[in-house]
Amino acid sequence: MARIRLGMVGGGKDAFIGAVHRIAARIDGEFDLVAGALSSTPEKARESGALLGIAADRAYGSFEEMAEREAARPDGIEAVAIVTPNHMHAAPAIAFLQRGIHVICDKPLTATMEQAEALAAAVEASDALFLLTHNYTGYPMVRQAREMVAAGNLGTLRVVQVEYAQDWLTEATTGKQAEWRTDPARTGAGGSIGDIGTHALNLACFVTQLSLEALAADLQSFVPGRPVDDNAHMLLRFGGGARGMLWCSQVAPGNENSLRLRVYGDRGGIEWAQEDPNYLWFTPFGEPKRLLTRGGAGASGAAAAASRTPGGHPEGYLEGFANIYLGAAQAIRAAQAGERAAVLDLLPGLDAGMAGMRFIAAAIRSSRADAAWVAP
């Protein structure tokens, strides 16, 4: 089967997340990167295209030119990955959706709610797919956790604890990543809550399949002069009566990428940590704690379907990201055949993106009102 022709907006020379997307797209051999508008600077865009082996006539100086010219080519791109800073998600996505080109977009959805609503309208008006790379939903043991919750292994859910802690912004920091991620004009009004808090909430909701009904948030900007939050504590109320807590921080020394989820019901609990992703702890109430391993005894069909190597061979960030791209390929091929792929139920899309945007806005409103309870 021919590989899906892929384009990319952003992700040029020295960009971190663009390289991750390209690796993820290549792992299962489903995509060929054939075009790109890899930088907002035309010269850098062409240089980046050459470094990646993209033909000179398909290394574009702008996403507008790329969308127009690729849509007119008989061999034009079928999908585009958007890996720009948040404020540049909506405009490229809309341009490609309007031309029937499938969009795979980095999270969060956009920088502002106004942009998000414009993008949502474009998604609704297009026959093309829109997918969001909340990559942690692609980890095998995360998918097993979701399956176990759905099967009732935990019983009625009561408590959801999720945290995402980093330390890379503990001091005032320079550099490309720090500059745009702490600039409200590019990242949006939320700092840590947009960058990693949305990941934490998405993970919790993906595994539990609960919806957030209200939150009470206390946001801080601990580094003097930082215009966006770098730490947040929240209380959460979910549909069905479950309660939760969310902590996200980028000023927690000793934490590199510490995303952790714990879920408890009246029949048992589960624990999962991103830095040790091949393991899932399951404790039925009143019984000894059980360690479930990816590829090992007790691993479910959901985990096996998201795995590539036998148990004991660690899989992690890149493979989890690749599962999003593999699912995207399956969904795109189904759409091309006029069908809906079942894998779409596992892939974050517009709904997850809008939930993230409402979460950011609600957290800011709540914190400004002295941590009052607000609905997202």
Burial of 158 (0-12, 13-18, 19+ CB in 10 A): middle
pTM for the predicted model, two decimal places: 0.97
Q: What pLDDT does residue 14 have? A: 82
Domain segments of the chain as ranges: 4-128, 137-311+355-368
Q: What pLDDT does residue 288 have? A: 98
Burial letters 259-276, b for 16+ CB under 10 A, else e: bbbbbbbeebbbbbbbee
Query: 365-371: long-range contacts at Cβ-Cβ below 8 A with a sequence spacing of 24 or more?
Result: 366/215, 366/216, 366/217, 366/234, 367/217, 367/218, 367/219, 367/229, 367/232, 371/216, 371/217, 371/218
**Superfamily of domain covering 137-311+355-368:** Dihydrodipicolinate Reductase; domain 2 (3.30.360.10)
Q: What pLDDT does residue 100 have? A: 98
- Cβ neighbors of 195 (< 8 A, separation 6 or more) are 108, 181, 187, 250
What's the distance, Cα to Cα, between the start and end of the chain in Å?
A: 43
Q: What pLDDT does residue 148 have? A: 98
Q: Which fold has domain 4-128?
A: Rossmann fold (3.40.50)
Q: What pLDDT does residue 174 have? A: 83
Q: Give the whole-angstrom CA distance, residue 96 versus residue 77.
A: 10
Task: Walk along the chain (376 residues) and give the pLDDT tens digit of each residue.
Answer: 899 999 999 999 888 999 999 999 999 999 999 999 999 888 899 999 999 999 999 999 999 999 999 999 999 999 999 999 999 999 999 999 999 999 999 999 999 999 999 999 999 999 999 999 999 999 999 999 999 999 999 999 999 999 999 999 999 988 889 999 999 999 999 999 999 999 999 999 999 999 999 999 999 999 999 999 999 999 999 999 999 999 999 999 999 999 999 999 999 999 999 999 999 999 999 999 999 999 999 999 999 999 999 999 999 999 999 999 999 999 999 999 999 999 999 999 999 999 999 999 999 999 999 999 999 9
Burial letters 202-236, b for 16+ CB under 10 A, else e: bbbbbbbebebeebbbebbbebeebebbbbbbbbb
